[in-house]
Chains A and B, each alone.
Chain A
Amino acid sequence: MRASAEAGYKEYVTARSYALWHTAFLMCGDAHQAEDVVQTALLKLYVAWHRVERAENRDAYVRRVLVRCVIDEKRRGWRRERAVPSVPDVVAPEGPDIGERDAVLQALARLAPRQRATLVLRFWEDLSVEQTADLLGCSPGTVRSQTARGLATLRGILLDQQATASGRVEKG
């Protein structure tokens, strides 16, 4: 890659890494796995950089790889891990409310990977039905139905969580 192109790539990575990580994190629910898939997607982008010169093409390309990586990892059901003698301490993340954040992540974790990806692309990345369908390799109709079902499920889970948390679980 030419030096100028490489500089452009570095600029893109610096500017977009965190946003991509967050999208991947919402899709897979694991901070480390999200980091892995973003890294994989950005490495693939390096190889394809000369083919995706326009900025919007780059985002689309990376999102496509990201979605594929997340869904593939979920299908695989295991992750390559290296054993270490001791686990380093991890500082709790700062945020508006850790409980709320966890509740959303737990709710997302109960959705099927493609349904989850659909919701993240539609409501986090704000992509249209057609753009989401293109990324997921399915029809717009499938995206619509996945969206409706996913939203209903997510809403139900979040409401249940709220009810449980406030001790107002209604029977029947």
Chain B
Amino acid sequence: MTELEDREEQGGGEAGAQAREAFARTVLQSRPRLAFTAEDLVLGGRRRVRRRRLAAVVGSTASVAVVAVAATAFAGGGGRSGAVVVAPAASVTTTVTTSPSGNPSRPLTDDERTLAEKKLAAAVFAEVLGKLDPGMKHLTYTPAPHASVAFAPNTGVCTEKLKVQVSYGFDAIWTADGKNPFPRPKDATSPFIQVDIQVYAPGLGGDQFAGTHDWGPITRTRLPDGSVVQTASAADGRRLQTVRTMGNGQEIVFSVIDDSVNGGGAWGAQSLPTNPFPFTAAQLSGIVSAVSLPLPFADGFQPRTTCVP
């Protein structure tokens, strides 16, 4: 190798200088405004930390489940001819349908059950959002691509390493005029409210009031079916959340957040507050308390997941 070639590879030669000069030409005089702020990243980071903790819990729970299933199969023979192993509660998702071959006891395939779970979630979302905005005059949302049902769940929360679907979720936007504020110029300040609903698998929801926000007093109500509804507000009532925990540990989490409390950053300028703020903690609590539809994840079935957070 010549000395010249060696110098070029080390970056000290003429070509290296040209590369430095070329890169310098790409610098903009005015810095582009990035769509995120340090605040956004802190909030996102906190969520990520929470998910990692959740994944650890799911991992240990999954291990226990595997051992339990193996033990059951070992003791009772297991096999495809047997009933579904985990079935602590009745659920429409496991209802057996007549197979094309005429076998009335054919269990649903995992894909069929996964679709049934999504439909259950969609029905819950439709019920809750229909009560929040009767007539759907204010809520807008982006339908999931290739969705075969209305209110098809987004991916919700999942853990990628374990491919476990932790929850199904749905996001919508509430505006006074019912117009979707997106796509949104970075200097737009028109008010809007984020609406989010999640249905968590038994035991995987965790404490939804822990950590991130300065929640006020949490009201707690036990319903006749044994489920418990907890509701709290933050940011002067512009952030509301209600959580209904069922007897088997399933959770419905329903929240509304006026974007003005996020302080801007995620989408650009800080949004103006929605005045008057149209929701109350009691209203959200009442809606979630009234949900009587069967929930997904009821019988311990783990749906197939593409797990793209």
Contact = CB atoms under 8 A, between A and B. Distances in A.
B4 to A, nearest CB: 11
B13 to A, nearest CB: 8
Contacts, number: 127
Nearest to B44: A43
Contacts of B182: 84
B16 interface: yes
B16 A151 contact: yes
Contact of B48 (A46, A87, A88, A104): A46
A145 interface: yes
Nearest to B23: A124
A145 to B, nearest CB: 7
Contacts of A31: 32
Interface residues of A, number: 55
B171 to A, nearest CB: 12
B9 A158 contact: no
Nearest to B143: A83
A21 B32 CA distance: 9
Interface string B23-41: 1011111111011111101
B215 to A, nearest CB: 18
Given A82-B142, A144-B9, A47 B41 contact: no
B137 interface: no
A93 B26 CA distance: 11
Interface of A: 1, 6, 9-11, 13-14, 17-18, 21-22, 25-26, 31, 35, 38-39, 42-44, 46-47, 80, 82-88, 93-97, 100-101, 104-105, 107, 119-120, 122-124, 129, 144-145, 147-148, 151-152, 154-155, 158
Interface of B: 5, 8-11, 15-16, 18-20, 22-23, 25-32, 34-39, 41-42, 44-46, 48-49, 52, 142, 145, 182-185, 308
26 contacts: A1-B46, A9-B38, A17-B38, A18-B32, A21-B32, A35-B36, A43-B41, A46-B44, A83-B145, A85-B183, A93-B32, A94-B30, A95-B28, A97-B25, A101-B25, A119-B19, A120-B23, A122-B19, A123-B19, A129-B9, A129-B10, A145-B9, A148-B8, A151-B18, A155-B15, A155-B18
